[in-house]
Amino acid sequence: MTDAPRFRPVAEHGLLVEFGEGVDTALHDRVMALDAVLNAAPLPAMIETVPGNACLLVRFDCLATDHGSVEAAIRQRLGTGRPQVPEGRLHDVTVCYDAPFSPDLASVAAMTGQSPEAVIAAHLGGAYQVSLYGFAPGYAYLTGVPDSIRLPRKSAAIRDIPAGSVLIAGSQCIVSTLKMPTGWWIIGRSATRILTADAARPFLFDPGDRVRFRRIRQDDPEMAPEMTDV
């Protein structure tokens, strides 16, 4: 990894700033630091920034500026010193590990050589950060799954997984928002609403925010009836 980012044009209206590849906390910190700088003092004709794991997409009005001008402006800001990473908000997110909401919990326990309760304790003890949104509306990819419960994705996806399912694969965790297929491991169900129905702020999290999971039980009042469909 070099210290200087790589710049790639995206169509006529975007510039991708790449700091490296893969899921890496240090790389993502650089992404979020640049994102904060550009949103605190937007570039001329900038429309939005979209953070990824190791890159930042900068969208701009192509009738008012071009790739070269945007790249030069970003390089100038990076040249003033590495910006600080802002601390995101902390969110409390519920998770119920009771059957039948955790169909893969026993498998994760067996494959990692632990008891189901040890897997739950590890998951609750993780330090999670919202890395990016992708794949589907409200799908916030959280980094920070503890090493002791990391597993590769399944060899095949399972269809019709309910919204609110808590999924893990590798170093990442997701709380699903729609009924969709997944090849990730389903270890629980959350009653926390990620989709807010607020047009101005449609998702609960922002990239860079932190998440802390809190255990609830199946009969907890927070588990509304629509969240308990299986």
> What is the C-alpha to C-alpha distance for residues 226 and 203, in angstroms, rounded to an integer?
19
Backbone angles phi, psi at 66, to 5 degrees: -145, 175
At 87 the pLDDT is 81
CA 33 to mean position of chain CA atoms: 16
Mind listing the pLDDT tens digit for each residue in 6-49? 999 999 999 999 999 888 888 998 999 999 999 988 999 999 99
Quickly state the pLDDT bin for 2 (edges 50, 70, 90).
low
CATH code, 130: 2.40.100.10
Domain annotation covers residue 18 = yes
Q: Are residues 115 and 57 in the same domain?
A: no
> What average pLDDT does this structure show over 52-80?
93
Nearest to 23 by CA among 155, 156, 104, 134: 134
* 137 vs 85, more confident: 137
Q: Are residues 129 and 74 in the same domain?
A: no
CATH code, 42: 3.30.1360.40
Q: Are residues 126 and 201 in the same domain?
A: yes
How many residues comprise the chain? 230
Q: Are residues 74 and 94 in the same domain?
A: no
Contact of 203 with 126, CB cutoff 8 Å: no
Contact of 145 with 173, CB cutoff 8 Å: yes
Mind listing the pLDDT tens digit for each residue in 88-102? 899 999 999 999 999
List alpha helices for the chain, DSSP H.
25-40, 67-78, 105-112, 116-124
Q: Are residues 73 and 109 in the same domain?
A: no
Mind listing the pLDDT tens digit for each residue in 159-200? 999 999 999 999 999 999 999 999 999 999 999 999 998 888
Q: Are residues 54 and 97 in the same domain?
A: no
What SS3 state is found at 96? strand
> What average pLDDT does this structure show over 48-53?
92
Q: Are residues 67 and 114 in the same domain?
A: no
Q: Are residues 168 and 105 in the same domain?
A: yes
Domain boundary among 78, 98, 116: 78
Domain annotation covers residue 116 = yes
Q: Are residues 134 and 195 in the same domain?
A: yes
pTM of the predicted structure, to 2 decimals: 0.84
At 1 the pLDDT is 41
Q: Are residues 102 and 190 in the same domain?
A: yes
Q: Are residues 146 and 48 in the same domain?
A: no
- Token readout for 45 is 């004709």
**Which class for 17: exposed (0-12), middle (13-18), buried (19 or more C-beta within 10 A)?**
buried
Handedness of CA 111, 114, 116, 121 (dihedral sign): negative
> What is the C-alpha to C-alpha distance for residues 168 and 162, in angstroms, rounded to an integer?
15
Number of structural domains the chain divides into: 2
Mind listing the pLDDT tens digit for each residue in 198-230? 888 899 999 999 999 999 999 988 887 656 665
At 139 the pLDDT is 92
Backbone angles phi, psi at 134, to 5 degrees: -170, 175
Domain that holds residue 122: 90-227
Domain boundary among 49, 78, 107: 78
Domain annotation covers residue 181 = yes
Domain annotation covers residue 83 = no
Mind listing the pLDDT tens digit for each residue in 118-172? 999 999 999 999 999 988 889 999 999 999 999 999 999 999 999 999 999 999 9
Domain boundary among 29, 51, 78: 78
